[in-house]
Amino acid sequence: MSTAVTRLASRLSRLGTETAFAVSAEAAEFAARGNKVYPFHLGDMNIPTPPHIIDATLRAMRDGKTGYCPSAGIPQLRELVADDVNRTHGTHYTMKNAVIEPGGKPLISKFILAMMNPGDEVLYPNPGYPIYESQIEFHGGTAVPYSYKEGAENFELDLDGIADAITPRTRLLILNDLQNPTGAVAQISELERLAEIVKEHNLFALCDEAYFHMRYEGESTSLASLPGMEERCLLLQTFSKRYAMTGWRLGAALGPEPLADALAKLNVNDESCSNHFIQYGAIEALTGDQSGHEEIVRILRERRDRCVELLNDIDGVRCFKPEATFYLFPNVTEVMKRKGLSDYSAFRKRALQKTGVSFCTRTHFGRPLEGETEYYIRLAYSGIDVADIGEALARFKEFAEAGE
């Protein structure tokens, strides 16, 4: 009998991952030992999908929408997605600019594959969603980080850092406004300056708008809405958060037609098409009653308010109140000092063991950059109810305010 030899391809050494899933596994193990866990670590949602979306999907299954469908998505949904974005963005997309994807995440690698040549430099946010860096490096590009800094009201884009990082090899920029993990929301003036930088250096941008509709105050603005930017942006949209459909896996891309065509061609090669009957659920999501979405936002706003209030009541914790996303990125530098810790992992594990509060830290969102002196953790409040938030943060306060 021959023994199979597993010789994995060398490119896998360049593939990163979402280390937040490892935190999940640790939390699950802690819970399995009979402990209560307060889950702030994953950006999943414990809010159900609005029932009329489920009904429309079941109807589509019964109506036989169970075969393959076009790789770019069913025409009716492509048209609706384009209209929906045009309404909020003031853009001019048609069905030909819209491609349906199995979630927002797969678009990140497809964007890189379609637009980046090996050796190109790509600007990406750090702290930021870890998949950008992973995919840039996996496909042979150079991932160049840019950062956020604490402003008066919230985190702000380090625009000077972005401008300074540009070289003749810089080709792409990834922007995740309404940002995971910081909750940063760019001011119009920041977006205007960013648009100028993009145009001046002839860059193309991926605008990851996963949280565009997870907005508690004010209105979201897209980089693509600014003059001359529609042709320089690809938009990542998703049904995951807006309609509490994370596990359904449905998203969309909107961008210039040649790029949309390239994405559809990548779809042919990858998954053939996004799930057929779910696209009918998505049609219902966009055209039906919006009170389900409004209720999701109401629930999350209440959680945000509670979390921010309780976190700022902890001696040594400083937390902004973001107008969007479902993430908080409190500064815990003083607490870590008090505990004599400079290792994020030790702090996180000790908090879990002592309190059951499970969260990610700054290190789950990219390697800390040179000169970083402050310490942050990330709390997602999308998967924990208000009552548990109160209990969890009371325990965390006791832990944080105690000495070593």
Residues of this chain that bind ligand PLP (CB under 6 A): 43, 103-105, 129, 176, 180, 208, 210, 238, 240, 246, 251
Tokens at residue 121, please?
């430099």
Quick one: which of 390, 213, 398 has its CA closest to 310? 390
Question: Residue 176 or residue 279: which is nearer to ligand PLP going by CB?
Answer: 176
Question: Residue 70 or residue 251: which is nearer to ligand PLP going by CB?
Answer: 251
Question: Residue 180 or residue 358: which is nearer to ligand PLP going by CB?
Answer: 180
Question: What does residue 231 show for φ and ψ, rounded to 5 degrees?
Answer: -80, -5
Nearest distance, CB of residue 176 and ligand PLP, angstroms: 5
Question: Residue 156 or residue 356: which is nearer to ligand PLP going by CB?
Answer: 156
CB atoms within 10 A of CB 5: 5
Question: Residue 43 or residue 356: which is nearer to ligand PLP going by CB?
Answer: 43
CA-to-CA distance for 348 and 8, rounded, in angstroms?
33
Nearest distance, CB of residue 249 and ligand PLP, angstroms: 7
Nearest distance, CB of residue 180 and ligand PLP, angstroms: 4
Q: Which residue is nearest to ligand PLP (CB)?
A: 104
Question: Residue 16 or residue 316: which is nearer to ligand PLP going by CB?
Answer: 16
Nearest distance, CB of residue 240 and ligand PLP, angstroms: 3
Question: Residue 129 or residue 146: which is nearer to ligand PLP going by CB?
Answer: 129
Nearest distance, CB of residue 263 and ligand PLP, angstroms: 15
Nearest distance, CB of residue 216 and ligand PLP, angstroms: 17
Nearest distance, CB of residue 275 and ligand PLP, angstroms: 13
Nearest distance, CB of residue 248 and ligand PLP, angstroms: 9
* Single-letter residue type at 122: V
Query: Is 190 buried (19+), middle (13-18) or exposed (0-12) by CB count in 10 A?
Result: middle
Question: Residue 166 or residue 235: which is nearer to ligand PLP going by CB?
Answer: 235
Question: Residue 84 or residue 336: which is nearer to ligand PLP going by CB?
Answer: 84
Nearest distance, CB of residue 365 and ligand PLP, angstroms: 10
